[in-house]
């Protein structure tokens, strides 16, 4: 089982047919049904109001006959539509945006792809679904792959967040990784909208009617299908500004990003005391940095920490933790009588 980016398009053929039936076909059927009924009643009224007029009787019988035929046709069309939908069912036709399909109807099942896969597809801006049309989507494409056929003993994998990116929290942005299920992707998508909204309102003690209806917003949408239970899962990286924040406050910084590194402590204003020029090469990063403090030990610690921040940025890391390094040279200036600070310099190297 693997999670993949949800294509914002009609993901189920039957859902599309039902939409067309509800918006286009049903109104036409009801209108023509009303016309046929009116035609029948008009003929009946003529027949009853002119009991002795044979000519009127003849015309009224014709009106009633055609009215009955019209009613029969409208009922038949409605029945045929329902029969088609009920025959295939919501879960018996599956289609993804890559053109792969599965049609299951007993022994005559057919497909053009033995296992229907949810392959990442770019969102369509003109989609009929409003799931992420207003989002600032930074969708996580590094989903966890649990294997094509999930073992029954690991079914809980579907309910474990597949998002791999970690972010630095922001008190002005509410964020949750949430999932919901359904018999189709469309139904699971509708469920996740309700689940995320309820959680956002409850956790922040908000009043639903006074809160922007578009919140929370999915910044990442991943889906998966469990063939064993015929269940569709959809995960949201749901976010919403809180405590007076704005949408921009939810553009969170990745924990693995150099932007998450702390700022260097105060560096020395003294001159670099090293005569050797320490430059990086194909195997090692080499940097020189400094630090100050009222104590010798503190100044040394600040200098090393500042140098490691440089190394972390060069390695595109979000933390200095775990960086292995070697001190190539270190020197310090005597305690300044005016400021009371020690000025400490270090040169370190770390393998690329």
- CATH number of 335's domain: 3.10.28
For residue 102, pLDDT beyond 50: no
Helices within the chain (DSSP H only): 13-20, 26-49, 54-88, 185-203, 296-314
The parent domain of residue 128 ranges over 121-250
Residue 4 lies in a domain: no
Query: Is the residue at 107 inside a domain?
Result: no
What is the rounded distance in angstroms from the CA atom of residue 345 to the CA atom of residue 274? 9
Is there a single domain that holds both residue 221 and residue 264?
Answer: no
Predicted pLDDT at 289: 92
Looking at the fold, whether 155 and 241 belong to one and the same domain comes out as: yes
Which residues face 241 on adjacent strands? Answer: 173
User: Does one domain contain both 246 and 217?
Assistant: yes
* In a shared domain, residues 192 and 166: yes
Chosen domain end from 57, 80, 95: 95
- 166 in the same domain as 65: no
* Count of domains forming the chain: 3
Q: How far apart are CA 257 and CA 254, in angstroms?
A: 5
pLDDT of residue 33: 85
Q: What is the pLDDT of residue 257?
A: 64
Q: Are residues 125 and 200 in the same domain?
A: yes
> Is there a single domain that holds both residue 169 and residue 241?
yes
Is 194 part of any domain? yes
User: Within a 10 A sphere around the Cβ of 266, how many other Cβ atoms?
Assistant: 13
Task: Determine contact, residues 182/160, Cβ cutoff 8 Å.
Answer: no
Query: Same domain for 156 and 61?
Result: no
Distance CA 247, CA 333 (A): 48
Residues 118, 185, 226, 235, CA torsion sign: positive
Task: Specify the pLDDT at position 258.
Answer: 67
Position 113 pLDDT exceeds 70: no
Beta bridge partners of 329: 347
Cα end-to-end span (Å), the chain: 35
Per-residue pLDDT, averaged over 129-145, amounts to 32
In-domain check, residue 298: yes
pLDDT band with cut points at 50, 70 and 90 for residue 195: very high
In the predicted structure, residue 123 carries a pLDDT above the cut 80? no
Q: What residue ranges in the chain does DSSP mark as E strands?
A: 4-5, 93-95, 101-103, 110-111, 173-182, 217-226, 231-241, 284-293, 326-333, 342-351
Q: Are residues 246 and 142 in the same domain?
A: yes
> Which of these ranges, 40-49, 85-94, 158-167, 216-225, has the smallest mean pLDDT?
85-94
- What's residue 85's pLDDT? 63
Q: Among 90-99, 173-182, 340-349, where is mean pLDDT lowest? A: 90-99
Residues 142 and 75 in one domain: no
Query: Residue 228: is its pLDDT beyond 80?
Result: yes
pTM: 0.39
Average pLDDT, rounded, for the chain: 74
Residues 246 and 266 in one domain: no
| Residue 200 binned pLDDT confidence (cut-offs 50, 70, 90) | very high
Q: Does 204 reside within a domain?
A: yes
Answer for the pair 201, 215: CB distance below 8 angstroms, yes or no: no
Question: Peptide bond before 216: cis, by omega within 30 degrees of 0?
Answer: yes
Q: Which two tokens stand for residue 100?
A: 């792969």
Strand-pair category, 101-103 with 173-182: unpaired
For 72, list phi and psi in degrees, rounded to 5.
-60, -45
Q: Is 121's pLDDT higher than 60?
A: no
Q: Give phi and psi for 209, each to the nearest 5.
A: -70, -20
Share of the chain above pLDDT 90, in %: 18
Q: Are residues 226 and 279 in the same domain?
A: no
């Amino acid at each position: 089982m693997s999670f993949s980016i949800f294509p914002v398009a009609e993901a189920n053929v039957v859902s599309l047919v039902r939409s067309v039936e509800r918006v286009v076909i049903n109104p036409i059927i009801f209108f023509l049904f009303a016309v046929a009924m009116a035609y029948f009643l008009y003929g009946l009224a003529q027949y009853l109001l002119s009991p002795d007029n044979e000519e009127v009787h003849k015309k009224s019988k014709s009106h009633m006959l055609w009215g009955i035929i019209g009613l029969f046709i409208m009922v038949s069309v409605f029945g045929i539509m329902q029969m088609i939908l009920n025959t295939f069912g919501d879960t018996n036709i599956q289609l993804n945006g890559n053109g792969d399909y599965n049609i299951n109807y007993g022994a005559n099942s057919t497909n053009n792809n033995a296992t229907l896969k949810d392959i990442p597809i770019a969102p369509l801006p003109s989609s009929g679904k409003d799931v992420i049309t207003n989002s600032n989507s930074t969708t996580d494409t590094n989903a966890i792959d649990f294997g094509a056929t999930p073992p029954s003993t690991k079914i809980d994998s579907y309910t474990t967040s597949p998002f791999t990116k970690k972010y630095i929290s922001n008190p002005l942005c509410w964020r949750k990784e949430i999932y919901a299920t359904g018999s189709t992707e469309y139904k699971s998508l509708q469920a996740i909208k309700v689940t995320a909204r309820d959680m956002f309102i409850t956790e922040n003690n908000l009043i639903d009617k006074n809160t922007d209806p578009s919140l929370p917003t999915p910044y990442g949408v991943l889906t998966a299908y469990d063939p064993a239970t015929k269940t569709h899962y959809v995960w949201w990286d749901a976010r919403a500004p809180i405590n007076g924040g704005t949408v921009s406050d939810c553009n969170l910084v990745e924990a693995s990003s150099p932007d998450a590194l702390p700022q260097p402590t105060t560096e020395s204003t003294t001159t670099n005391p090293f005569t050797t020029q320490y430059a990086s090469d194909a195997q090692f990063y080499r940097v020189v940095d400094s630090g100050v403090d009222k104590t010798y030990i503190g100044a040394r610690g600040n200098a090393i920490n500042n140098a490691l921040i440089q190394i972390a940025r060069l390695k595109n890391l979000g933390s200095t933790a775990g960086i292995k390094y070697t001190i190539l040279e270190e020197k310090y200036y005597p305690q300044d009588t005016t400021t009371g600070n020690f000025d400490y310099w270090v040169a370190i190297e770390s393998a690329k």
